[in-house]
Amino acid sequence: MLPQTIRDDHATPALPKRRTVLQTLLLGLGAIGAREALAGSGDDAAAATPGKPDGAIAYDAGRKVFHLQTPATSYILQVAGNGTLAHVYWGRRLRSSAWPGMRNAKDGVPAPARPDLGDRNHSPNTQLQEFPGYGTGDFRHPAYQVKLANGTTVTDLRYAGHRITAGKPRLDGLPATYAENAGEASTLEIELRDRASGLAVFLSYTVFTQHDAIARSVRFVNQGRAPMRLARAYSASVDFPHARFELLHLSGDWARERELFRRRLAPGLQSIDSRRGASGLEHNPFIALLSPGADEEHGDVYGFSLVYSGSFAAQVEVGQYRTTRVSMGINDFDFEWLLEPNQSFQAPELVMVYSADGLGAMSRSYHRLYRQRLCRGAFRDQPRPVLINNWEATYFDFDAAKLETIASAGSELGIELFVLDDGWFGKRDADNSSLGDWVVDRRKLPNGLADLAGRVNRLGMQFGLWFEPEMISADSDLYRAHPDWCLHVPAHERSESRHQLVLDLSRKDVCAHVLEAVSAVLRSAPVRYVKWDMNRNMTEIGSALLPAARQRETAHRYMLGLYGILETLTSRFPQVLFESCASGGGRFDPGMLYYMPQTWTSDNSDAVSRLKIQYATSLVYPASSMGSHVSAVPNHQVGRVTPLRTRGDVAMSGNFGYELDLSRLGPDEKTEVRRQVAQYKALRPLIQFGDFYRLRNPFDGNDTAWMFVAPDRSEAFVVYVQVLAEANAPLGWLQLRGLDPAARYRCAEDGKTYGGDQLMYAGLLLPTINADFHSIAWHLHA
């Protein structure tokens, strides 16, 4: 499809005259685009055209209505009055964007009216708006705010034009979902303009032909003659006509990341955010609005997931007329961005998913999109290797012989990748030194990384390595040479956490050093996996190179610098599988998944703790993105002793590996590990690329269950975990989901055959389990 560009001259009378709508349409922008733009009534062109793709954007020029359609959803907005952009609808897919009595505002209310909008009884405070500002009658929180050269903050955005294109453009310097060819998606870009200041705002909407998701972003451009400052630049805002919702979000801390919280909306503002310079342990950059009582299979669910790894905010406001406004983006706390004339600012992408069939359908929409069109590179579609990490086996105390012993034991058990964790560089005998000195410690590895990697490779395994490149130790050669390279503010102490400071990645010279230091190590040995860690958040956020007027840009410039490093590294070393980590799961977000297809889910690898951590993480992130390992008992984080079988069953629901000393296992334990590794290899395509169904919620009871189903429903893997045994427990049945009700399934564990309808509607009979922390798994084949 060729671009369809439409300009609205009436909305910007002070600007030079442009072509009329009809002239633009007739200048070769395509028959389909012209038909969509000129349709004024009845069903939308997208719905009426035979063979129209499932992801489509139609424009009704007569009513100035945009209708965005994914395979199962519709999103409708309208240019109302004298150029304001109004929100109309988001929900189940509609054939038409017009219906009798369609309204997006409440009239006749005691609030400031806008006669210039054509109705003295109409108030912006009651209108459902698409990208609201503040100062012209809407008293709800705005999606953006600009400080002008005259000291005021009032702007009034009006429609100035739009264009519809095939495909999806890249965002400048930022991670985002993508389309591999023009037929996979359609993108609408709407230009809004404040005539008085020259501020132009470009709203971008992409719909996908194969995914029930809408990707939104916004770009701010100073087309005026004076500088202006962005004080708030959210990625999107959505208004709902009612407040009958529950808010769901994922919050926690180290070793208990992403606990699930759900509460009913109340009047006023409810929000989550991060002010840490990272998406953070405390809150994940995801929220959902749920209809009351919505569960895994039923009810309306609206998901909002921000593709960004820095400080963020998600706000939900219930207004005085019981409407709901959701907005999300970069946290405006301690944020400001100076826009000189002709400069622009690109906000991150927000991915929105609507489900009419509960949380499960929402999750599977996110899983497919993020797995197929957010993650990139050779490993996007490849099975991930089973690994052994030496950290909990040795911590900092190791030498080449000890590491080779662990790798040898892993090789005998079928493990494919050995990962050397912290302690291999500088003089790193504890966590108080050497970050930034990415030179091999010859005391521990006298023959270097190439020798160790060679030993591992001769065992038939790949070699991986841990880094923490964003940090610098005060006790390091790098800090002694460049004390100004860390984030700091003059005349203030430099707060240390874990004896380390944060490198200033807003600086090009620092980014260049990090890039070359890591590249030199990766060139020195056959490294095939990198664990990229980040173990502290930002304090004293300031840069030695930025002028005073731009100091509040530091945190976002840091993220742009980090993204630039990762873009170059992953392109330079496509054979390396990168996994992100941040004090465990402290930066588990879509922004990092764009560069690294998997993330370490939590430092807490206790099987019982992981039931909640992995369950809640799965609300938005696919199993292929979750690092999930078996560790030693008593567990190093909580001291719990759980059966090796249970630890394996839980860890298999992600990218599988081990965090213990394999050389110290007994014969029975080695037999069990060998069985687990072989089973996971057989199940790996199903687990990493199948559809995921949550069956029992660990936040609601004493047990948890989940399953993976092949896309063609020919195979399934089910796991059930009982936390605490119950005396004289009643019979229990586990109803499965996602199977073909007309098919017959054979269970590998007992050899019995079940009907798909029996498994889903009656269920599997759970055996009596007289043991704590016990798991059962079933492998089903049609």
Please list the active-site residues: 533, 603
3-class secondary structure per residue, 272-315: EECCCCCCCCCEEEEEEEECCCCCCCCECEEEEEEECCCCEEEE
Q: Is 531 known to sit in a ligand binding site?
A: yes
Find the helix packing angle between 644-651 and 667-689, rounded to 10°.
20
Token pair 């004896």 in the structure block, residue? 499
Phi then psi for 429, rounded to 5 degrees? -100, -5
Token pair 């430099």 in the structure block, residue? 494
Tokens of 299: 């009810």
Q: In whole angstroms, what is the distance from residue 569 CA to residue 377 CA?
A: 12
Q: Is 535 known to sit in a ligand binding site?
A: yes
Other beta carbons within 10 angstroms of residue 538's beta carbon come to 20
Q: Is 498 known to sit in a ligand binding site?
A: yes
Nearest Cα to 487, choosing from 433, 586, 593, 561?
561
The answer for residues whose C-beta is within 8 angstroms of residue 357's C-beta and 6 or more apart is: 297, 298
The answer for residues whose C-beta is within 8 angstroms of residue 149's C-beta and 6 or more apart is: 226, 227, 228
Q: Is 264 known to sit in a ligand binding site?
A: no
DSSP track, 592-613 = HHHH-SEEE--S---HHHHHHH
- For residue 488, the SS3 value is coil
Q: Is 422 known to sit in a ligand binding site?
A: yes
Distances from the Cα of 60 to the Cα of 93, 131, 173, 291, angstroms: 17, 20, 34, 31
The residues with which 71 forms a beta bridge, in sequence order, are none
- Residue 302 and residue 359 in contact, taking contact as beta carbons nearer than 8 Å: no
Query: Which string of b and e fits 221-238 if b means at least 16 CB within 10 Å?
Result: bbbbeeebbbbbbbbbbb
Q: Is 485 known to sit in a ligand binding site?
A: no
Tokens of 145: 């705010």
Distances from the Cα of 125 to the Cα of 17, 146, 201, 236, angstroms: 32, 19, 21, 18
Distances from the Cα of 38 to the Cα of 6, 35, 160, 485, 521, angstroms: 12, 5, 18, 57, 59
Q: What angle do CA 529, 373, 88 make, to 5 degrees?
A: 145
Q: Is 747 known to sit in a ligand binding site?
A: no
Q: Is 778 known to sit in a ligand binding site?
A: no
Other beta carbons within 10 angstroms of residue 44's beta carbon come to 26
Q: Is 532 known to sit in a ligand binding site?
A: yes
Q: In whole angstroms, what is the distance from residue 759 CA to residue 563 CA?
A: 46
- Residue 112 and residue 140 in contact, taking contact as beta carbons nearer than 8 Å: no
- Write 67-74 long-range contacts (CB < 8 A, 24+): 67/94, 67/96, 67/97, 68/188, 68/205, 68/207, 68/214, 69/93, 69/207, 70/207, 70/208, 70/211, 70/212, 70/213, 70/214, 71/209, 71/210, 71/211, 71/212, 72/212, 72/356, 73/212, 73/214, 73/354
- Residue 584 and residue 601 in contact, taking contact as beta carbons nearer than 8 Å: yes
For residue 383, whether the previous peptide bond is cis, meaning omega lies within 30 degrees of 0, is no
The residues with which 272 forms a beta bridge, in sequence order, are 314
Nearest Cα to 345, choosing from 355, 334, 335, 354?
335
Q: In whole angstroms, what is the distance from residue 585 CA to residue 279 CA?
A: 10
The residues with which 708 forms a beta bridge, in sequence order, are 692, 717
Q: Is 603 known to sit in a ligand binding site?
A: yes
**Which residues are known binding-site members for substrate?**
254, 421-422, 498, 531-535, 581, 603
**Which residues are known binding-site members?**
254, 421-422, 498, 531-535, 581, 603
